[in-house]
Amino acid sequence: MFITRILQNDRGGQIMLAVLALVLVLVPVLNLLVPEGNFLHMPTYLVTLLGKYLTYALLAVAVDLVWGYLGILSLGHGAFFALGGYAMGMYLMRQIGDRGVYGNANLPDFMVFLNWKELPWFWQGFDMFWFAMLMVLLVPGLLAFVFGWLAFRSRVTGVYLSIITQALTYALLLAFFRNEMGFGGNNGLTDFKDILGFSLQSDNTRMTLFVLSGLALAGGYLLCRYIINSKLGRIVVAIRDAESRTRFVGYRVEHYKVWVFTVSAMLAGVAGALYVPQVGIINPGEFSPLNSIEIVIWVAIGGRATLYGAVLGAILVNYAKTVFTGLMPESWIFMLGALFVLVTLYLPQGLAGLVQQFQAKGWLQRRAAA
């Protein structure tokens, strides 16, 4: 009943969640139960690839929440994604123990190589899964809260806010590249062995991570839809459409902005935490400002202020990236830019908006025929 109420007028979301549920049932069957020689068998590498797409989709939903409904064009969500990934990566590194190259049970290999003598204080606690998961939420959320509180109280808006979020991402990129920061420097964190005692190379573990990614996407989507359908969501949309008027009638606009921005950052952190064990590495390249811009492109192509459009855009663009970077690796970035320009000019509401237009035309034709 609760979910039905949330999705009451969200036909696109209903279809997206139904397809997601079907995929979460079919993929394990095709991978684990269908024999490898059968043409219906789905290889494990493809399961991992789909799991990565699902984490990108959750990240796109987080961006759509702040851009589509709050009107904040954030070019820094790649940083929140990477911070969640680093929190998970630190836990996975602590699980290696004495199985590393240097056989040190207390220090990760890169610290031994750099002649570190003891574990830094900020690595303490990451040998416990619950603590790592808490940091996955807390670190991106706290950074977003502090940044948002300073920026929104100063009434920084528009392109200026976008530039500041991009500068934040670039500053973190430069910081994490430094070896003395204690996060693996340029190489990042990798060579993970297991999670909660289960080998990351196991087909069952990879399938579990895939299913968890799908469930996280569904949960994140429902959370965002619940926020939008609530009184808070109506105020958020009012801030997007007429911020000065909303402030004039008595609402503390900056409080609503900070709250939604923080929730969005935490969702991005969860996406990053699910991404890392599936790809097997996290490095400073994830902080690249280009990554944050690419996330915005996913949402624009799918259709912002729809949520399900963000999911569609993230999956389609990343599938195209997988295909075309193999065929034309040097041309992909130009193709992505051209696609963004075409969508901006001819499909300002994205693919989801195009579907809505067809639905509206069909409804009008039925009304005229009646």
Token reading at 368: 């005229």
Characterize 118-156 residue by residue with b for buried, 16 or more Cβ atoms within 10 angstroms of its Cβ, and e for exposed. Answer: ebeeebeebbeeebbbebbbbbbbebbbebbbebbeeee
At residue 368, the pLDDT reads 59
Bigger pLDDT: 347 or 128? 128
At residue 195, the pLDDT reads 96
pTM of the predicted protein model: 0.95
d(CA 300, CA 33): 38
d(CA 306, CA 295): 15
Averaged pLDDT score across all residues of the chain: 92
At residue 319, the pLDDT reads 94
pLDDT at 281 over 60: yes
At residue 340, the pLDDT reads 83
At residue 233, the pLDDT reads 92
At residue 204, the pLDDT reads 94
Contact 170, 242 (CB under 8 A): no
At residue 176, the pLDDT reads 96
DSSP assignments along 312-342, one per residue: HHHHHHHHHHHHHHHH-TTTHHHHHHHHHHH
- Share of residues in the chain with pLDDT > 90 (%): 79
Contact 66, 72 (CB under 8 A): yes
DSSP assignments along 266-328, one per residue: HHHHHHHHHHHHHHTEE-GGGG-HHHHHHHHHHHHHH-TTSSHHHHHHHHHHHHHHHHHHHH-
pLDDT digits (tens, 9 = 90+) for 106-123: 999 999 999 999 999 999
d(CA 280, CA 198): 14
Identify the weakest region by mean pLDDT among 147-156, 317-326, 328-337, 360-369. 360-369
* Range among 98-102, 202-206, 334-338 with highest mean pLDDT value: 202-206
